[in-house]
Amino acid sequence: MKSLAIIFVFLASSIVLRAAEPLTLKLWPQGAPEPAGFTSEPEKVIPPKDEKDVKRVTNVSDPTLTIYKPEKPNGTAVIVCPGGGYHILAIEHEGTQVCEYLNTLGVTCALLKYRVPARTKENPSKEPLQDAQRAIGLVRHHAAEWGIKPDRVGILGFSAGGHLAVMATLHANDRTYTSDPALDADDATPNFSVPVYPAYLVSKNDTFALLPEIKVTDKSPPMCLVHAGDDKGVTSSSASALLYLEYKKFGLPAELHIYSKGGHGFGMRKTGLPVADWLVRVGEWMRSMGYVQ
């Protein structure tokens, strides 16, 4: 009898562990819409070379959404978009580790493994934006099942993923694919947006003017921007400041954090600098907005 009891305890523990494991869904069950003539290569995971390096994923042609559920969901969900220049995905320090932290706040996280590398140099975000729009739809379709409120679905991204978050926020319904009512939302606009050192909002020749496609309207959702002041070039912190000012012109809810030091790509790294607490500040903003209790 004692042995039987031990088996029951083991089985029960296994069920709990399995229930806590992340759930992964394909964004395009019938295959992602790709440009004519595009040939995919096998997906590849590149482990970090040393403690200063990062884990990378590339050659993504079958994009997925992996759901990280908190112990006590509070109804808010965040789609997390790793960066990587639309070439690779920094899947760990700008992905899984972010999801794990937000889970501690009761936030359900959906890690977006979007298509990379870019299919064209002219429009590198085209296919990733399709993936982000589909991701919003999937999360809202599964809202009741996952303990999420469909009007509390946000998006957070880093660098190229930050650009993707901005594009998904400001161009949510500019679709370049045929939507599927079973998978897509009628309105794919996220309820809030957190771009972290977003790239490609300004040009390398003029870092003090937003690119024409970065257009805020009076209906743009709340935004919290994070950047390091010593970030430069097409990832310059001026981009976040300019985007914040566009929100200010419309009197829309927005918050801006620019740290003196941190460079680019800090993500969840423990740098010993104030910038390492950026996600604490984002959590405070989410609490002030009612997304976290």
DSSP per-residue codes, 220-285: PPPEEEEEETT--GGG-THHHHHHHHHHHHTT--EEEEEESS--S--TT---SSGGGGHHHHHHHH
Q: Name every residue whose Cβ is closer than 8 Å to that of residue 85 and which is 6 or more positions away in sequence.
A: 159, 160, 199
The torsion defined by the Cα of 64, 147, 288 and 92, in degrees rounded to 10, comes to -30
Q: Is 34 within the bounds of a domain?
A: yes
Q: Is 185 within the bounds of a domain?
A: yes
We report the CATH number of the domain holding residue 159 as 3.40.50.1820
CB 259 within 8 A of CB 227: yes
Global pTM?
Answer: 0.93
Nearest Cα residue to 262 out of 277, 243, 244, 284: 277
Q: Is 283 within the bounds of a domain?
A: yes
The domain tally of the chain equals 1
pLDDT at 293: 85
Per-residue pLDDT of the chain (293 residues; tens, 9 = 90+): 443 343 334 334 433 333 468 999 999 999 999 999 999 999 999 999 998 899 999 999 999 999 999 999 999 999 999 999 999 999 999 999 999 999 999 999 999 999 999 999 999 999 999 999 999 999 999 999 999 999 999 999 999 999 999 999 999 999 999 999 999 999 999 999 999 999 999 999 999 999 999 999 999 999 999 999 999 999 999 999 999 999 999 999 999 999 999 999 999 999 999 999 999 999 999 999 999 98
Q: Is 171 within the bounds of a domain?
A: yes
Going from the C-alpha of 21 to that of each of 49, 81, 114, the distances in angstroms are 27, 20, 21
Q: Is 270 within the bounds of a domain?
A: yes
- Structure tokens that stand for 39 in this block: 């040939």
Strand, coil or helix: 41: coil
Q: Is 148 within the bounds of a domain?
A: yes
pLDDT at 21: 86
Dist. CA 202–CA 162, nearest whole Å: 13
Domain, as residue range, for 29 = 24-288
pLDDT at 20: 62
Q: Is 19 within the bounds of a domain?
A: no
Dist. CA 269–CA 97, nearest whole Å: 10
pLDDT at 13: 40
Q: Is 110 within the bounds of a domain?
A: yes
Helix residue ranges, H only, 2-64: 2-20
